[in-house]
Structures are given as C-alpha cells and as structure tokens.
Amino acid sequence: MNGKLKTLLIRSLSGIVYVALIVSMIYLSKWTGDFWRSRCYTFVVLMTLCVVGLHEYYGNLKKHGVKVVESWGYVVAVVFFMTYGLLFNGFSEVKVLGETLFLLGPFFAVLLILQLWRKGERPFEVIGYTAVSALWIVIPFLSMFFLVDNDRDMLMFAFVLVWVNDSFAYLTGMLFGKHRMWERHSPNKTWEGTLGGVLFCMVAAFFIENYFEICSYSGQWVLLGLICSVVATLGDLVESMFKRSLGIKDTGRIMPGHGGVLDRFDSMLMVTPFVLLIWLLDVL
C-alpha cells in the first residue's frame, strides 16, 4: 500500500469514527429512550473534547513561550459543565443558560486578581491569552451540550451544513481555485472554493428544510446555510491564524489524518454560538 493510499485510508477511518461519535452523542437518548445514561455519555464526550481542546491550545502556546494560567481554563471547563450538566439536570429554560454563562463574571475577576501575585511585565497579555480559551473553546462546547438537550436536530443539521461546506469548498477549490482568498492566514483557500462551499451549503439547507418540513416559512434554512457557511469559513481562518502565528501545522494528533480537536472542530467552534443565538431568538 503506497503512502497516499494509506494516508487516505487512515483519514477516512478517523473521519468515520468522528462522525459516529457526533451522531451518537446527539441522538443516543432518542434511540435508547434512556435519558440519564445518554446524557452522561454526551457529558463525557463533550467535556473530554473540551479539555483536550484546552490542552492543545495551552500546550502549543507554552511551547512557544507564551504564558497562560492553564489551571484556570480547566477549572472553568469543569465548573461550567458540572453546573449545567449535573446541577440543572437538563432543564431547558433559557434562564439556566443565562445563569451558567453568568459565572463568567466571577471567573474573569479571579483571572485578573491572580495576576497581582504573578511576576511578569505583561500581565494583561497573560489574561488575554488565557481568557480566549473560555470564549473560543469552553463556551462553544457547552453550547453544543445545551443544544443537544433542547434542539438536537438543529445541532445535527449545523454539523451537516459545516461538513457540506468544508467538503465542497475543498473540491471546488481544487478544481477551479485560482484566486487566493486570504493568503496571510490560509494560502490554499481560494475565493472559488469558498463560493462553492457557500453555494452547496445553501443547496443542502434547502433540501434539509423541504425534506424534513422543519420550517414554517420557505427559505429560512437557506439563510441558516448561508450563515453556517460564512461563519464556518471564518472559523477555519481563525484557527489557521492561530497555527500560523505559532508556526505549527496541526494543533494535536488525537485524530489521525485530521490533527487535533481544534483542527477538527475549528468551524463548529465558531458556528455553534451563532446557532445557539438563532435558537434563543426563535428565528427558525
């Protein structure tokens, strides 16, 4: 077996495991009818992904001499997941989400106060790099947990739309890509590929909307497809910006052929907060 075929096989098998993990996490309670065991499974999967993502983020920064308060991020992740996942027992009221996210205030205050005892000439640089981990990693994974409880179909369709966007952006870019989109952050991304991803994502959203008859007004999910496509592309660019700023190819190796958690979830880390906002506003 030659190298390219072996790489493709490994990447494909890893991708199948990834998709199976996501689908089972979202729909296990529906399939089994066992709410508590399924919810524990979702809790473990999302919290593990969150912690691994934090480990990749902090680890790569520390390797390149960037100081962070690593323990702070892990405490935030554990407290937030435990607060929503266990203490509220899956209650779906928006108030619960607000109360959970409200914990950010005291935690950011603690992060600021900790710098009073730390020696360093740039305390706010440490604060900034550390705080980003909560906003970029913890909150999106917690938002996924919330959506599994309240609108699992919307979360699943968001994943599907992102996968469609990524796949067709890659294919159209490979076939027709000529004009670089943002070479400073992602030299291989082209305008042709990006527009192809947007188009096919909107087409997929149209078929999802009509096949499942999930919208009261025609065209609503096409708009969601457009939002997911644009935000997913920007999320990919943000993660590329992070990697290029550190001079690394992948953030981790946990997913053979795909890299780390941040590599695989780069688009969804940006898309999920927007999907949650759309759900909270009851736009769709």
Domain ranges, ordered by start, for the chain: 34-150, 151-284
Confidence category of residue 104, pLDDT binned at 50, 70, 90: confident
Angle among Cα 59, 61, 62 to the nearest 5 degrees reads 65
| CA 196/CA 220 separation, integer angstroms | 20
Classified as helix, coil or strand, 189 is: strand
158 burial via Cβ count (<10 Å: 0-12, 13-18, 19+): buried
Per-residue pLDDT tens digits for 132-149: 999 999 999 999 998 898
Query: Whole-model pTM above 0.85?
Result: yes
Q: Residue 199: what pLDDT? A: 93
Per-residue pLDDT tens digits for 163-209: 999 888 888 888 886 777 766 667 778 888 889 989 999 999 888 87
Confidence category of residue 90, pLDDT binned at 50, 70, 90: very low
DSSP alpha helix (H) spans, 103-247: 104-114, 123-133, 139-150, 152-176, 191-212, 220-246
**Helix axis angle, 104-114 to 70-82, nearest 10°:** 160
Which secondary structure element, helix H or strand E, spans residue 25, and what is its range? helix 3-32
| CA 243/CA 76 separation, integer angstroms | 24
One-character DSSP codes across 149-181: HH-HHHHHHHHHHHHHHHHHHHHHHHHH--SEE
Q: Residue 89: what pLDDT? A: 53
